[in-house]
A and B are shown apart, each in its own frame.
Chain A
């Protein structure tokens, strides 16, 4: 068992290089590969907000679910639509709402 796990890991390392450890969101896994979002040549860079918006639409098209503290970051009176998607949403690590720096927030469905 142990050997086969290591072997599997080695195969993954070979096929995906340094990013082998990077997980993807379940709804992305089937449809996307690395280059769907990392479109620039050479070293991977953080995708522009437009990359997300192409499929998901802009913030105004994705209302935040009703939540305990009535917060609606996709219609924030501080930033409106000037925030980049990656300000809060991450693909390869846990997402983190930047409003939590100042506000009490609770977004059970934050992706």
Chain B
């Protein structure tokens, strides 16, 4: 089917014709023919997309297609650190950690500054255990330890055995292949197609080259049970970031190059209600000395936890190193503002050798040069341009806190490690990390219509492309669980949806 004919069929709402949507819908009655037909089409092959396929298959759907725009499957999920924060798992029980869904929601709301959609936050936290069960069923393995990330009231970060999101998406992908789920990469979704009964399919470009935008064919795929959008965020879409949040225009981003705004635009064109599109999370573990989300960022979670972070200008700590990502990033930006282009003032975090021995990412970050070793306070002070006497005092103060003195910043201390030479340090500079906003969804992952504030029939969304779960900022290790939980919910809701079946 040619694109021209497609537009004539008018069941389609292409991005460029948002303003024409109403004119187009007048033509909707004309019957549309599709090139291929599936029970369920899922757009995106990360945590949310895989989870949707898993639950839809469990619910009885057979002919499921997962579409991936890029060559590599898994999107941001495959390349992230893979930490999943889940309360009340068997691993937490084994380590004697007391935790609950309610406690996680409290943490989420605090970090989200109350902007969270409460029902969505509660759904994520209370159903986290279903994600744990799903991952176990797919053969995912976690390390036998739990990590407390910033602003979490309990150590609840489960780390995949290979310390990568790949440790989750690869076993899930292989499990789904065994179940007969089809995966199709290099396929760009150019529009969401709807007819009188609701969303009925997608228009795609096959053999899509994300670097050039070239493709082989334009086709239409019907999806009997509506369409699940699990396409992730748009952090690498410079124009969209700049337009929604001008002051973040020049920040480097952790997003992979496939994280463009095409799907959010298609969702808006299909009439979805947007929420918080201008809210972005900054990662406080970015560094001028490595690419965003390099190995040093994983290491720095340990340095933040067991060591301290210091402002070179004052020689003192400047923030609770385990406060929320937003609090830390904003504090770092304030420190950086004291510098100039010629003499920058990058804050730095550092720890003792003992901490490096169990910190994922340390080996690679040290080898690549982002983490540097100093054999004495004098060397550390010189390296970062700090007054040596002040830094000596700051370290001594911290070591008193480790021994039990009150901490003016109130940082929780799970591991008490005295700071002593040699020190390992890492310069900090926040990076754009996560799209807080997205389309509004119901707790059962139905996308909400902007004109009616009711669900759009046959349109489901999960993961980073959906907004509201976390509010204006989020905890670490919680986008993974968001995608895993709401992906499963979207798959189940779609399986039940029968309008086009």
A positions within 8 Å CB-CB of B: 46, 69-70, 76-80, 82-84, 86-87, 98, 101-104
Q: A46-B207, A70-B364, A87-B71 are in contact. Are A80 and B166 (CB under 8 A)?
A: yes
Within 8 A of A (CB), among B116-173: 162-167, 170, 173
Partner of B72, one of A69, A77, A79, A103: A79
Q: A69-B368, A77-B163 are in contact. Are A102 and B256 (CB under 8 A)?
A: yes
Please name all residues of chain A whose beta carbon is closer than 8 Å to the beta carbon of B164 when the two chains form the complex.
77-78
Partner of A98, one of B71, B294, B364: B71
Whole-angstrom distance between the alpha carbons of A83 and B45 in the complex? 13
How close is B492's CB to chain A, nearest CB, in angstroms? 25
Within 8 A of A (CB), among B199-238: 207
Evaluate contact between B79 and A82: CB separation under 8 angstroms. no
Whole-angstrom distance between the alpha carbons of A79 and B173 in the complex? 10
Known: A78-B165, A102-B294. 14 other contacts (CB 8 A): A70-B367, A78-B78, A78-B164, A78-B166, A79-B73, A79-B170, A80-B170, A82-B74, A82-B170, A82-B174, A84-B71, A84-B185, A102-B79, A102-B291
Partner of B173, one of A70, A82, A103: A82
A-B contact pairs, 16 of them (CB 8 A): A77-B164, A77-B166, A78-B74, A78-B78, A79-B170, A80-B170, A82-B74, A84-B71, A84-B185, A86-B71, A87-B71, A87-B72, A98-B71, A101-B257, A102-B79, A102-B294
Please name all residues of chain B whose beta carbon is closer than 8 Å to the beta carbon of A80 when the two chains form the complex.
166, 170
B positions within 8 Å CB-CB of A: 71-74, 78-79, 162-167, 170, 173-174, 185, 207, 256-257, 291, 293-294, 364, 367-368
Please name all residues of chain A whose beta carbon is closer than 8 Å to the beta carbon of B163 when the two chains form the complex.
77
Whole-angstrom distance between the alpha carbons of A83 and B166 in the complex? 12
Evaluate contact between B207 and A79: CB separation under 8 angstroms. no
Please name all residues of chain B whose beta carbon is closer than 8 Å to the beta carbon of A98 when the two chains form the complex.
71-72
Partner of B367, one of A69, A76, A87: A69
How close is A106's CB to chain B, nearest CB, in angstroms? 12
Partner of B166, one of A70, A76, A84: A76
Evaluate contact between B162 and A77: CB separation under 8 angstroms. yes
Evaluate contact between B79 and A78: CB separation under 8 angstroms. yes
Q: A84-B71, A87-B71, A102-B79 are in contact. Are A79 and B166 (CB under 8 A)?
A: yes
Closest partner residue, chain A, to B167 (CB atom): A77
Whole-angstrom distance between the alpha carbons of A31 and B167 in the complex? 39
Closest partner residue, chain A, to B364 (CB atom): A70
Please name all residues of chain B whose beta carbon is closer than 8 Å to the beta carbon of A103 when the two chains form the complex.
291, 294
Closest partner residue, chain A, to B162 (CB atom): A77
Partner of A83, one of B72, B162, B165, B367: B72
Whole-angstrom distance between the alpha carbons of A78 and B164 in the complex? 6
How close is B162's CB to chain A, nearest CB, in angstroms? 4
Please name all residues of chain A whose beta carbon is closer than 8 Å to the beta carbon of B166 when the two chains form the complex.
76-80
How close is B291's CB to chain A, nearest CB, in angstroms? 6
Whole-angstrom distance between the alpha carbons of A103 and B295 in the complex? 9
Partner of B73, one of A77, A82, A104: A82
Whole-angstrom distance between the alpha carbons of A87 and B70 in the complex? 10
Whole-angstrom distance between the alpha carbons of A104 and B291 in the complex? 9
How close is B260's CB to chain A, nearest CB, in angstroms? 14
Please name all residues of chain A whose beta carbon is closer than 8 Å to the beta carbon of B291 when the two chains form the complex.
102-104
Please name all residues of chain B whose beta carbon is closer than 8 Å to the beta carbon of A77 when the two chains form the complex.
162-164, 166-167
Whole-angstrom distance between the alpha carbons of A109 and B364 in the complex? 22
Please name all residues of chain A whose beta carbon is closer than 8 Å to the beta carbon of B367 when the two chains form the complex.
69-70
Q: Ordered nearest first, which 8 A-B pairs have the shortest CB separation?
A: A78-B166, A77-B162, A77-B164, A87-B71, A78-B78, A80-B170, A77-B166, A78-B79
How close is B165's CB to chain A, nearest CB, in angstroms? 7
Whole-angstrom distance between the alpha carbons of A87 and B73 in the complex? 11
Please name all residues of chain A whose beta carbon is closer than 8 Å to the beta carbon of B167 when the two chains form the complex.
77
Max chain B C-beta neighbours (<10 A), residue from A69, A83, A86: A83
How close is A110's CB to chain B, nearest CB, in angstroms? 16
How close is A41's CB to chain B, nearest CB, in angstroms? 16
How close is A105's CB to chain B, nearest CB, in angstroms? 11
How close is B500's CB to chain A, nearest CB, in angstroms? 31
How close is A18's CB to chain B, nearest CB, in angstroms? 16
Please name all residues of chain B whose beta carbon is closer than 8 Å to the beta carbon of A76 when the two chains form the complex.
166
Whole-angstrom distance between the alpha carbons of A24 and B72 in the complex? 25
Whole-angstrom distance between the alpha carbons of A76 and B367 in the complex? 18
How close is A60's CB to chain B, nearest CB, in angstroms? 14
How close is A107's CB to chain B, nearest CB, in angstroms? 16
How close is B232's CB to chain A, nearest CB, in angstroms? 15
Closest partner residue, chain B, to A78 (CB atom): B166
Whole-angstrom distance between the alpha carbons of A34 and B469 in the complex? 52
